A and B are shown apart, each in its own frame.
Chain A
C-alpha cells in the first residue's frame, strides 16, 4: 500500500463517525438525499452518494431519523428529519467529539 493510499484509508476511518453527527444536526430541518450531500460537501464534510444513502437508511432503521415522501414537486423526494432519539444521539456524539478534540490538543506537540 502506497503512502497516499494509507493516508486515504486513515482519513476515511477518522471521518466516518463525523458524517453521522453532521447528518443528525443538519436534518433538524427536513432535507432530502442529494440536497444533504451538497450541503455536507459545502460545509467541508467530504462524502459521496454511496456512503450517504445507506447511512440515512441505517439511521432511519435505528429510529434516529424519520422520513416522508414529498410529491409536491415534479420530482418526488424522500425527506428525512432527525427524531428526538436522533437529537439525543447527536448531543452525545458532539460531547464526545469535543472531548476527543480536547484530548488531541493536549497531546505532545507534532513536529
Chain B
C-alpha cells in the first residue's frame, strides 16, 4: 500500500471540497502536479520519500485556506469594504431600538396593571434579546452581501463625502441656550398661573374653561414648583456664565430633575395632580377611571423619560466640554 500517495490524494480532495464544481478538475490537476513536482525536487535533494511529501503538504498549509486563496474567497466574516458601514449601522440600531423596546414593554406592562418587579422582569429579557438579535441579523446581512456581490462595490459603503463629517458638537452653554431655557421656564410658570385663574381644560358643555391641575395643589405644591423653576433659571444662568456645562452643573441639574419628578410621580399615583372635576365632566363615568389611569401612566412615563434624557444630556455635555 502506498501511504504517501494517499496523503496527497487526501490533501487535494480536501482542498477541492470548497472549490466551485466547474473549476475543480483543472485546479485539482494543477495542484497535484505542483505537489508532485515539489516532492520530486525534495527527493532529488536527498529527502526520504514520505518525509518529502509531509514537508511539502505541511508547507502548503490548511487546504481550505489554500482553496480560498485560489478562488479569491474571503476568509473573514465582514471585510474592510463593508466593516465601517456594518459597524455604524449596528451602533445606530443599538442606540435606538433597545430603548424603544424597553419603553414600549414597560408602558404595556404598566397599563396591564403589572407591579414594578413584573415590569423589570419583562423588560430585561426583551432588551437582551433585542440587542442580540440586532447584532446577529445585521452581521448576517453583511456576511451575505460580502459573499454575493463579488468584486462589485454596491453603493453601501461607497461615496463618503465631506457632508458626512460630524458637526462640531454643541456645547449647550451659549446665549441661545440660555434664552431658550428662560423662555421655556417662564412659559411653564405662566401656564401654571394661567391654569389657576383662567383654566387650560375646556369643557364644551358646562363650565367652559377649567383648571387642569388640581386646585388643592395651591398654594404649597405650586409654591414648591415655582422655587424649582427659580432654581432652574439660576442654573441656566450659571451654566451660561461659566461658558460650559461642568460636572457640578450637571449634578445640580440631575438633583433638580429628581426634585421635580419624584413629587410629580407621588401626586400622580395618589391621583392628586389633575383636577378631579375635569374627567367626569369630559367623559362617561364608566370610562373616566380607565382614561385617568392611562393618562396618569403616560404622564408619568413622559416625565421620567424627559428627566432622564435631560440628565444624561447634561452629563454628556459636561464630559465633552472638559
* A35, A54, A76, most chain B CB atoms within 10 A: A54
- A48 interfacial contact with B, CB 8 Å: yes
How many residues does chain A have at the interface if contact means C-beta atoms less than 8 Å apart?
17
* With known contacts A54-B69, A54-B70, A58-B72, A48–B59 Cβ distance under 8 A: yes
Please, how many angstroms separate the alpha-carbon atoms of A25 and B59 in the complex?
27
Contact with B along A67-98 (1 / 0, CB 8 A): 00100000111100000000000000000000
CB distance from A57 to the nearest CB of B (A): 6
- B29 interfacial contact with A, CB 8 Å: yes
Contact between A49 and B60, CB atoms less than 8 A apart: yes
Contact with A along B287-302 (1 / 0, CB 8 A): 0000000000000000
Please, how many angstroms separate the alpha-carbon atoms of A65 and B36 in the complex?
23
Q: State which size class the interface on B falls in.
A: 10 to 19
Within 8 A of B (CB), among A31-79: 32-35, 38, 48-50, 53-54, 57-58, 69, 75-78
- B8 interfacial contact with A, CB 8 Å: no
* A49, A75, A77, most chain B CB atoms within 10 A: A49
B residues in contact with A33, CB < 8 Å: 30, 33-34, 37
CB distance from B214 to the nearest CB of A (A): 71
B residues in contact with A53, CB < 8 Å: 30-31, 34, 70
B residues in contact with A34, CB < 8 Å: 33-34, 37-38, 41
A residues in contact with B36, CB < 8 Å: 75
B residues in contact with A38, CB < 8 Å: 41
* B31, B69, B72, most chain A CB atoms within 10 A: B69
Please, how many angstroms separate the alpha-carbon atoms of A57 and B20 in the complex?
14
CB distance from A27 to the nearest CB of B (A): 15
Contact between B26 and A78, CB atoms less than 8 A apart: yes
CB distance from A89 to the nearest CB of B (A): 18
A residues in contact with B31, CB < 8 Å: 53
CB distance from B57 to the nearest CB of A (A): 11
* With known contacts A57-B70, A75-B36, A50–B30 Cβ distance under 8 A: no
* With known contacts A34-B34, A34-B38, A78-B29, A49–B59 Cβ distance under 8 A: yes
* With known contacts A49-B38, A53-B70, A75–B33 Cβ distance under 8 A: yes
Please, how many angstroms separate the alpha-carbon atoms of A60 and B81 in the complex?
24
Contact between B34 and A50, CB atoms less than 8 A apart: no
Contact between A77 and B69, CB atoms less than 8 A apart: no
Q: Which A residue sits closest to B35, measured CB to CB?
A: A49
Within 8 A of A (CB), among B65-88: 66, 69-70, 72
Please, how many angstroms separate the alpha-carbon atoms of A32 and B37 in the complex?
11
CB distance from A1 to the nearest CB of B (A): 20
Please, how many angstroms separate the alpha-carbon atoms of A33 and B38 in the complex?
10
- B284 interfacial contact with A, CB 8 Å: no
A residues in contact with B37, CB < 8 Å: 33-35, 75
- B117 interfacial contact with A, CB 8 Å: no
CB distance from B243 to the nearest CB of A (A): 45
CB distance from A58 to the nearest CB of B (A): 7
CB distance from A32 to the nearest CB of B (A): 7
Contact between A77 and B70, CB atoms less than 8 A apart: no
Contact with A along B31-61 (1 / 0, CB 8 A): 1011011100100000000000000000111
Please, how many angstroms separate the alpha-carbon atoms of A68 and B157 in the complex?
40
Question: Contact partner of B60 among A50, A75, A77, CB < 8 A?
Answer: A50
CB distance from B31 to the nearest CB of A (A): 7
Apart from A33-B30, A48-B59, A76-B33, what are 8 other A-B pairs with CB-CB below 8 Å? A33-B33, A33-B34, A34-B41, A50-B59, A50-B66, A57-B70, A78-B29, A78-B30
Interface residues of B (CB under 8 A from A): 26, 29-31, 33-34, 36-38, 41, 59-61, 66, 69-70, 72
Task: List 13 contacting pairs A-B, 8 Å CB cutoff, sorted by A.
Answer: A32-B33, A33-B30, A34-B34, A34-B41, A49-B34, A49-B59, A50-B60, A53-B70, A54-B72, A58-B72, A69-B29, A75-B37, A77-B33
